[in-house]
Amino acid sequence: MHWKEKLRAKAAAPGSRPVARPMVLTSAAGGMVTTEAGRMVNMSSNNYLDLANAPPVRAAAAEALERYGLGLASVRFLSGTHALHLELERATRELLHADDCIAFGSCFDANAGIFEALLDDGDRIVSDELNHASIIDGVRLAKASRLRYRHCDLEDLERLLREGPGTGITMIVTDGVFSMDGSLAPLADLVRLAGRYGALLMVDDSHGIGTLGATGRGTAEHFDMLGQVDIITGTYGKALGGAMGGFVAAGREIIELLRARSRPYLFSNPIPASLAAGVIAAMKLMQSEPLRLGRLRESTRFLRTQLAEFGFDVPAGVHPIAPVMLRDSHRTRSLVAHARSNGVLVSGIEYPVVPRGTERIRLQVSAGHTLEQLSTVIQVLARGLGEMRTA
């Protein structure tokens, strides 16, 4: 069989096709977007605080683009470190109450580059079974032994920790917010277990920063654990402006090792200075305009309450990710198509992203949504679900 035929066979296999093809946008990000199919309520964006198109963010990025150009055409350790990169790292570490910070081209790069750089033979990684793909791929690159504990199961985690680290380092790894269902890691308990067994605790808080905590500082602030998590990774591509870039915030000894050994940092160009300027502006807005977080929380409560009243199967939670559980691929694809044809941009999630039997539509609330828009979303989904039940 020719290699082309082999690839066609792989492409035709279950799990190789998306639930729906990507919708092409022709507008800026927001609660409403213009697409090739017309104006739609956007329920598929990580633009939680509606900062991606905020005028001060755009102005800061535009000014830096005009002043510094498109990029530096170099990796960080040669001539690719700009003063704005250092300012971004400083702002991030201060936001998260960390000693130091290192910025990457993406959070995927940050997670892909951390384990191999910090851990060697004789070390152990103990990872939640539902962690993000970037963590899974990063763990595969490390020489350390790899163990998985059942999702948010503290007894199973402690059983693995009790087996003993030998003379090496044990690292506990978890998402702060699990992106497919919006559930939170039991962070206070994880900090306690890490301390009891002398383990290093790493949390990917990509979906927590900007959504959780009294001031939006993330899962650690939500659980009153700011400054007590050894390593926090995250992204600048969600609540903090929605563009791109990632980071690791941790102690200085960890960051120094990453600067010396992390391959994505050493061998990839950084984000442009213009995007760094935009993210810095977004961080300042998040802190100076707390009403954004207030609107996000009000809208999240409204959506979750209304979904429950309409009888949708939505797990309880406080995060703006609200999964509508359909538990069937055909139903998921049908409801996605119905929503999109009625002006609501939603995303269906199915195998292999989630296990079979847990297929869902993932709704994501933004501070840019109005309650009227969210009411429209619920009505459209309710009609679609009703039509499927009577079909």
- Please tell me what DSSP assigns to residue 359: -
Is 238 assigned a catalytic role? yes
Pick the catalytic residue from 82, 85, 132, 207. 207
Final residue in a domain of this structure, among 259, 288, 317: 288
Is 207 assigned a catalytic role? yes
Pick the catalytic residue from 82, 85, 222, 238. 238
Q: Do residues 76 and 90 both lie within one domain?
A: yes
Quick check: is 216 in a domain? yes
Q: 322 - beta bridge partners? A: 363
Is 143 assigned a catalytic role? no
Task: Please state whether beta strands 170-175 and 200-204 pair in parallel, antiparallel, or not at all (unpaired).
Answer: parallel
Find the domain containing 314 and state its range.
Answer: 30-53+290-390
Final residue in a domain of this structure, among 257, 288, 319: 288
Quick check: is 19 in a domain? no
Residues 351, 328: Cα–Cα separation, whole Å: 10
Q: Do residues 220 and 247 both lie within one domain?
A: yes
Per DSSP, the chain holds a count of helices (H) and strands (E) of 14, 15
Q: What is the CATH number of the domain that holds 43?
A: 3.90.1150.10
Question: How many separate domains does the chain show?
Answer: 2
Per residue of the chain (391 residues), what is the pLDDT tens digit?
889 999 988 888 876 766 567 889 999 999 999 999 999 999 999 999 999 999 999 999 999 999 999 999 999 999 999 999 999 999 999 999 999 999 999 999 999 999 999 999 999 999 999 999 999 999 999 999 999 999 999 999 999 999 876 789 999 999 999 999 999 999 999 999 999 999 999 999 999 999 999 999 999 999 999 999 999 999 999 999 999 999 999 999 999 999 999 999 999 999 999 999 999 999 999 999 999 999 999 999 999 999 999 999 999 999 999 999 999 999 999 999 999 999 999 999 998 889 999 999 999 999 999 999 999 999 999 999 888 877 6
Q: Can you give the pLDDT at residue 291?
A: 98
Q: What is the DSSP string of 4-70?
A: HHHHHHHHHSTTSS-SSPPPPB-S-SSSEEEETTEEEEE-S---TTS-TT-HHHHHHHHHHHHHH-S
Pick the catalytic residue from 106, 179, 206, 334. 179
Quick check: is 370 in a domain? yes
